[in-house]
Amino acid sequence: MAVGFSLERLRRDIDELPVDTQGLGLQVDGIREQLSDIEVALREMASAQPGSAGAESLAELVAGEIARFRRLDDAELRLDIDEEIETETDSQRIVLHRVLREALTNVNKHAEARHVGVQLFESDEVIYLRVTDDGIGFDPKAARSEATSGLGLNGMHDRLRLLDSSLAVESRPGGPTTVTAAVHRWHPV
């Protein structure tokens, strides 16, 4: 993931240069494709290892985060989870897991929410993970500009962008807050 973040920063820096950078952009895209190939090869090697337990399913990761949140916070949880949804790649599963953890951590640390909702569903080849709360809310633009690179909202945005996916944050001071990750299905070739 660190290499992916560096590539994304490089891509943004290239896009801001005052000269024609199309060739450089294509090189960055080529490197990203090579990294995807390496990820596929590493997954195949890991799954071929004797005694390998394999990665947890997306539903297991979500259940673990929900249990963690319940230990930390007494907000009422409303769950609407399609447990049959599974991602196509480890990177997709990891990013959804990290977004859920970060969103629930933010609710616990900052929101003062009484009710929290978690939804996991799929529509038109896009997996959606949505966390809502009725807490005190915040200004998303201010939070992104004040955040340290790689953490919090910026980290969630960057992780999803690396997978050609997106994060939408809707909030305002006084609440409510909705964080929605949209992960586009990607099938390695």
DSSP string, 32-51: HHHHHHHHHHHHHHHHHSTT
Please give the pLDDT value at position 89. Answer: 86
Q: Please tell me the chain's helix, strand, coil percentages from 3-state DSSP, rounded to the nearest 5.
A: 50, 20, 30
Please give the pLDDT value at position 75. Answer: 97
Residues 140 and 171 sit within 8 Å (Cβ to Cβ)? yes
Please give the pLDDT value at position 47. Answer: 57
For the chain, counts of helices (H) and of strands (E): 6, 5
pLDDT tens for the chain, residues 1 to 189:
556 667 777 877 888 888 887 778 777 777 776 676 666 656 655 555 544 344 688 999 999 999 999 999 999 999 999 999 999 888 899 899 999 999 999 999 999 999 999 999 999 999 999 999 999 999 988 877 765 444 578 888 888 988 889 999 999 999 999 999 999 987 555
pTM, to two decimals = 0.70
Statement: 58-184 belongs to CATH 1.10.150.310: no
Residues 49 and 22 sit within 8 Å (Cβ to Cβ)? no
Distance CA 189, CA 180 (A): 28
Half-sphere exposure of 170 toward its Cβ, with a 13 Å CA cutoff? 9
Please give the pLDDT value at position 73. Answer: 95
Please give the pLDDT value at position 187. Answer: 56
Distance CA 130, CA 99 (A): 10
Please give the pLDDT value at position 13. Answer: 82
Please give the pLDDT value at position 169. Answer: 95
Query: How many C-beta neighbours within 10 Å does residue 96 have?
Result: 26
Determine whether 156 is exposed, middle or buried from the number of CB atoms within 10 Å of its CB (0-12, 13-18, 19+).
Answer: buried
Distance CA 8, CA 15 (A): 11
